[in-house]
Structure 1
Amino acid sequence: MVISKTHLLALFFVAISACAQSRMVLDTPIYPEGVDAKKEIRAALVQAKAQNKHVLLVFGADWCYDCHVLDYRFHSPEIEPFLDKNFVVVHVNIGRGETNVDLSNKYHIPVDKGVPSIAVVSPTGALLYSTQHGEISPTRRMPATQIVGMLENWAALK
């Protein structure tokens, strides 16, 4: 099979584009410093109550590759519609384990077990679920169907 120079050039640009897009995942801060997580959670609870949704607290940090993978997956066509329909998402920065410690304690998030970590909170502020053993931390190895399955289970919590 002969590949023309045009096809080879097109493949090259597709490969470069794919690499650039995957790199953007790491270059985009999803846990910016200085954000008042408590204020964001309060606002999310108001929104969740008005929209009859749960609040999904995603504890993580920008240094965490799997945190970026999870955020990227949350924006995929397989996951985003379900996520938007059922949850208000708040990213809670843990820094290197020293930031928002009070929130990780309040929502029973053992960050030493790995991040990202998840807490599911009802619109009234009740903790419904939190990851305890790093269940979501190996996000890069999880198929979209597994993430959707977890989200479905969490959305059904009362």
Structure 2
Amino acid sequence: MRIITTLVISLSLLLSSIATANTTSFTVTPDLPTYSKIYDDQRDPFKDATAALTLAKETNRQVLIEIGGNWCSWCHKMDAFLAKNPDVSEALHSQYVLLKISVSDSNENNNFMKSLPPVLGYPHMYVSTAQGKMILSKDTAELLIGENYSRSQWLSFLSDWSVSATKAQAKISTTASVD
């Protein structure tokens, strides 16, 4: 009898917690690939880029290539900014596959970097279509107001270079050239 009572109480508590969990609102952070989360000198940037392009095609997003490293204080400031601004982080990850490429004294990733336009400072970003066409080289200093990253600058940048925005720009330029 004691076992049955304990079982009934345990089951009641379990069902109660499930019901509460189902009514609680929360946002689940997407499980990002490792190449979107960290700079790692040991990672193969070509393999990661191929994976990022594949994911971008599957999810209808652009690829945002972020060049930097663990040594880069502004890279850490940018990561902290994104962590403190979940709306910006959500806009980033919903419209782009983030690909972090590490450059450092121990591994400059020269073979990968020579295929890109020059880096103007760190972190530096490039936007690529899911088909691998480079459409933007971006100095992240343009996302600052004073010494801090700007929420409005970031959201504007992410919106301006998203898949839907670049498709609209292409349509406008095609229409303009026909006229």
- Give your verdict on TM over 0.5: yes
In structure 2, C-alpha distance between the alignment counterparts of 1:140 and 1:37, rounded to whole Å: 30
| Structure 2 stretches lacking a partner, 5+ long | 1-36, 168-179
Q: Percent identity?
A: 27
Determine the structure 2 residue equivalent to 1:85: 94
Preserved CA contact (<8 Å) 1:74 1:80 = yes
1:36-115 residue pairs with structure 2 within 5 A? 36-75=44-83, 76-96=85-105, 99-108=108-117, 110-111=118-119, 113-115=120-122
How has the CA–CA distance of structure 1 residues 88 and 69 changed in structure 2, closer, same or farther, with 3 Å as cutoff?
same
Preserved CA contact (<8 Å) 1:69 1:139 = no
Determine the structure 2 residue equivalent to 1:31: 39
Question: Which residue of 130, 134, 148 corresponds with 2:137?
Answer: 130
Matched residue count? 128
Question: Which residue of 109, 119, 128 corresponds with 1:121?
Answer: 128
Q: Which amino acid aligns with 1:89?
A: L
| Structure 1 stretches lacking a partner, 5+ long | 1-28
Preserved CA contact (<8 Å) 1:117 1:137 = no
Question: Could you tell me how far 1:125 is from its partner in structure 2?
Answer: 0.6
Q: Which amino acid aligns with 1:106?
A: S
Decide which moves more: 67-76 or 44-53.
Answer: 67-76
Question: Could you tell me how far 1:59 is from its partner in structure 2?
Answer: 0.3
Question: Could you tell me how far 1:53 is from its partner in structure 2?
Answer: 0.3
Q: Normalising to structure 2: TM-score of the pair?
A: 0.63
Preserved CA contact (<8 Å) 2:41 2:107 = no
Q: Normalising to structure 1: TM-score of the pair?
A: 0.70
In structure 2, C-alpha distance between the alignment counterparts of 1:85 and 1:115, rounded to whole Å: 24
In structure 2, C-alpha distance between the alignment counterparts of 1:35 and 1:118, rounded to whole Å: 18
Determine the structure 2 residue equivalent to 1:4: none
Question: Could you tell me how far 1:121 is from its partner in structure 2?
Answer: 0.6
CA RMSD of aligned residues (A): 2.5
Preserved CA contact (<8 Å) 2:81 2:149 = no
3-state secondary structure, aligned to 2:58: helix
Larger radius of gyration: 2
